[in-house]
Structure 1
Amino acid sequence: METTFASSHSLFLFFFFTTFISFSFATTASTTKPHRLAIKLIHRDSIFSPFSNPKATIRERAERAFQTSISRLAYLQAKTGRPSSYSFHSNDIQAGVIADNEGIQFLANFSIGTPPVQTLVTMATGSDLLWVQCLPCTKCYNQSIPIFDPSKSSTYSILSCDSPSCIILPRDKACDSSQHCNYEYRFIDNASTKGNLATDVLTFESSKGTTTIPNMVFGCGHENEGMTGRQEAGTLGLGYKETSIVYQIGSDKKFSYCIGNISDPSYAYNQLVLGSGAIIEGYSTPIEIYNGFYYLNLEGISVGNENLNITPGIFDRTDSGGGVIIDSGMTYSALQIDAYNALSVALEKLLDQILEKATAPPSEPFKLCYKGVVGRDLTGLPVVTFHFADDADMVLDEWSMFMQYNEDVFCMAVLQGDLDGLSVIGTMAQQYFNFGYDLVAKKLSFEVIDCEVLA
């Protein structure tokens, strides 16, 4: 196991520091807020990721995705209203899964400070702050790259208590005796990050050179607890608050991301775009922003030409929970139990005609599994379509709806939610799409596209 980690860790460092070298010697640079800021995204199972384990089997990857998905669903349920029915036991959950509160799916790298120091963070649509671990550390977890030392940056500055960014924070936690602005984020599982709210220069690489943006607000975390298993430096929040990098980059408050084949560890074209150059194209549907998450109005589901018999309103968000969230931190999707049952029955009816059922181990929640290979045996299967408000249809093929459980068994990649519980559009369902968020118009646009053409 030590040899495996060392091998993947070395490859990650090679990618990371060669990126830094090419970025340091770029010939063009900008210090204004950019029209289009593109950032490569690294999937956590990519060969370029510090989490990569090239010796992991298909089943091990599937089970890890399941464990992190139910952990993420439980977190989202608790955060948005109603606790999940999924329970956790220490002997069932691998290290790091319970602390997966911000959903480590995609990583982004850029630099902080003067001189610039490379960092690696988790992209999180459900968070509204960029934060990284900082020296001196009162409590810090082990990350795969050096921890940022603000004392060595000539442009680092802690915000004062009367700064606009500090004023929006809870007043009982925002100030210390030196009138420095503090932040503290606590998660449902008792993990937390705490430190100074500060500003510094952020430097990003793009195909056109480098972009340097001064005075970007971020959290410099000196106390970071309960985050076992994390190796990245912190979180890149894309939420709907003034502290979010989306708000700081431009007044139009737009961002987009494109997700390709997440099962291919060599895929290198996932990307995030910030600013007015974000790609806002294709179908468009309203988004509701509630409690820091992006909700969609899902009106129905069809399989092929058959509309499923789903009671109207079961996807509505209420004061006690429910609704449909699109999330960058959860691998599998989840559906409210009645919708889940309707979808699984419709797919079962089709698949029973052509394939032999398989049974996943009792410890797994996969209720619809078959003997076969997704890319071979599901070609031509009628697509599943999620029908969102304003006639926005999200068409999901076999790669978005099914996961390979082992070499010769695949299962439906959807978790069963509660009766009045939350539904989530996970990253498997988002494969091969570009999603554009317009936070001023409160619209989500999406289209099927090859991310490589956007790189």
Structure 2
Amino acid sequence: MASVSKLLLLLLCSYCHSLVTHAEDDPNYKVFSIGSVVPEANCSETKAIPSPGGATVPLHHRYGPCSPMPSKEIPTLEEVLRSDQLRASYIQRKFTASQQTDATVPTTLGTSLDTLEYVITVGIGSPAVTQNVFIDTGSDVSWVQCKPCSQCHSQVDPLFDPSKSSTYSPFSCGSAACVQLGREGNGNGCLSSRCQYIVKYLDGTSTTGTYSSDTLTLGSIVVKSFQFGCSHATSGMTEKTAGMMGLGGGAQSLVSQTAGALGKAFSYCLPPTSASSGFLTLGASSGRSGFVTTRIFRNSKVPTFYLVLLEAIRVGGKQLNVPPSFFSAGSVMDSGTILTYLPPTAYSALSSAFKAGMKQYPKAQPQGILDTCFDFSGLSSVTIPAVSLVFGGGAVVNLDANGIMLGNCLAFAANDDDSSLGIIGNVQQRTFEVLYDVGRNAVGFRARAC
């Protein structure tokens, strides 16, 4: 009996080995390391390879061991996914409202900060004071907490003190910057003749203070007269970051402000796991090699977001039988949304095809909105079908294994209906250098950049 058990174990091991070998040799399969599911204790600092040009700074996952602001309180996956759904729903509602002539486009950002996962380190002021901030392609107004602060959340960095910066200047209420701020829905009146800003979030959190300018240091580049919110009060926030750096397409964003000096382009690489590092490059040079590109579409009523046209999805090398018309509403490229949200018809086809390629693994219970889950107990690695996203113009993006799975579940979800806007979330963007070449109306993807 013992010999039979040993033989069975040997056969199983051989089968698992053959699956892994098959995945390594066959582009239609990928090897997914179960170790990437479990949070690592040490920072691996894998070598990121940014393209030349622009100002580059390291980028870290907020909860990983590489983070400059480690937190002991890590939310559960279910909590994060609830916030993710709020953000996705808000983005979709905002675009729906923009298409209705009698509707008011909401100005609330629409999410708590729980879905923002990536931080960079910048310098504010002269002399520069180090500040660790979130990045978000779904935000325009950048802000940091400032002295005096009547109601601030705790942060790892010292509060920025504008009185100690020789280049700090608050905007007056009649300034062009203040008028523009009000036009975009973030004005908050005047206080002692100084322009006031406010950013509200859907969960009730907010930041308010003086709209100002000062010197921003980003890697090796110094940006003079950078416009940002000097926050004197935050409400409901428990983050350890100093604030937010907005990478959206609106007039107040970091990208728009530096377009004249650095060019209207930026890129980032989101690392495969929380224990490794990526990068953010501002002023990334255009027309570089190694990228597959697709067109950016913009909505003048919702200028913050970057839209692309997803046309098809491939699973295990085979294209899903979903007509392109189901993707015609477009998809937002968003660093702050975690999952990729698809029309229900497309998601159902994706889930079915993926399950068909995962028959060797038992099914597991859903985790929140994630309903295509598997039991990987006792395994160190598994083979999964490759998933590719096909964008307008023929750009094919072959997702990394860590861009397909979130834990033991497929990292995609369904929208409420087939006519809803899609969202390409940050899980699917992992390991790619994602180039937003706004000047040329293109988004590019370069594989294995971090």
- Report if the CA contact (8 A) 2:294-2:442 is conserved: yes
**Residue by residue, what CA displacement relative to the aligned partner does 1:390-444 show, whole Å, maximum 9, x if unpaired?**
001111243221233xxxxx22122232124443222221112111111122210
% identity of equivalent residues = 31
Give the aligned partner of residue 418 of structure 1. Answer: 416
1:236 CA displacement: 0.5
2-structure distance, mates of 1:307, 1:194 = 48
Give the aligned partner of residue 23 of structure 1. Answer: none
Q: Is 1:246 the equivalent of 2:260?
A: no
Give the aligned partner of residue 387 of structure 2. Answer: 384
Q: 1:43-122 residue pairs with structure 2 within 5 A? A: 43-49=61-67, 52=70, 64-81=76-93, 100-101=112-113, 103-122=115-134
2-structure distance, mates of 1:175, 1:111 = 28
Give the aligned partner of residue 369 of structure 1. Answer: 373
Give the aligned partner of residue 222 of structure 1. Answer: 232
- Report if the CA contact (8 A) 2:358-2:385 is conserved: no
1:65 CA displacement: 4.0
- Report if the CA contact (8 A) 1:105-1:330 is conserved: no
Structure-2 change in CA distance of 1:244 and 1:433 (3 Å): same
**Residue by residue, what CA displacement relative to the aligned partner does 1:216-255 show, whole Å, maximum 9, x if unpaired?**
111111121122x311011100011221111222323110
Q: Is 1:402 the equivalent of 2:405?
A: yes
1:348 CA displacement: 1.0
1-structure distance, mates of 2:144, 2:340 = 28
Q: Is 1:211 the equivalent of 2:184?
A: no
- Report if the CA contact (8 A) 1:102-1:126 is conserved: no
User: Tell me, what secondary structure is at the counterpart of 1:196?
Assistant: strand
Give the aligned partner of residue 282 of structure 2. Answer: 274
Give 1:258's match in structure 2, choosing from 269, 282, 290.
269
Listed as ranges, the gaps of 5+ residues in structure 2 are 1-41, 46-51, 97-109
Bigger radius of gyration among the two = 2
User: Tell me, what secondary structure is at the counterpart of 1:219?
Assistant: strand
Give the aligned partner of residue 101 of structure 2. Answer: none
For these two proteins, the number of residue pairs brought into alignment is 380
Once structures 1 and 2 are overlaid, which stretch shifts more, 65-74 or 389-398? Answer: 65-74
Give the aligned partner of residue 431 of structure 1. Answer: 430
Give the aligned partner of residue 134 of structure 1. Answer: 146
**AA aligned opposite 2:432:** F
**Residue by residue, what CA displacement relative to the aligned partner does 1:73-100 show, whole Å, maximum 9, x if unpaired?**
322312431799xxxxxxxxxxxxx963
2-structure distance, mates of 1:411, 1:126 = 25
Give 2:364's match in structure 1, choosing from 359, 362, 365.
359
1:283 CA displacement: 1.0
TM, length-normalised to structure 2: 0.77
User: Tell me, what secondary structure is at the counterpart of 1:247?
Assistant: helix
Give the aligned partner of residue 157 of structure 2. Answer: 145
**Residue by residue, what CA displacement relative to the aligned partner does 1:140-163 show, whole Å, maximum 9, x if unpaired?**
222222211112212111012333
TM, length-normalised to structure 1: 0.76
- Report if the CA contact (8 A) 1:304-1:383 is conserved: yes
User: Tell me, what secondary structure is at the counterpart of 2:325?
Assistant: coil
User: Tell me, what secondary structure is at the counterpart of 1:182?
Assistant: strand
Once structures 1 and 2 are overlaid, which stretch shifts more, 34-43 or 109-118? Answer: 34-43
What is the CA RMSD across the aligned residues, in angstroms?
Answer: 3.0
**AA aligned opposite 2:279:** Q
- Report if the CA contact (8 A) 1:111-1:119 is conserved: yes
1:197 CA displacement: 1.1
- Report if the CA contact (8 A) 1:280-1:435 is conserved: no
Give the aligned partner of residue 125 of structure 1. Answer: 137
**AA aligned opposite 2:391:** F
Give 1:182's match in structure 2, choosing from 185, 189, 196.
196
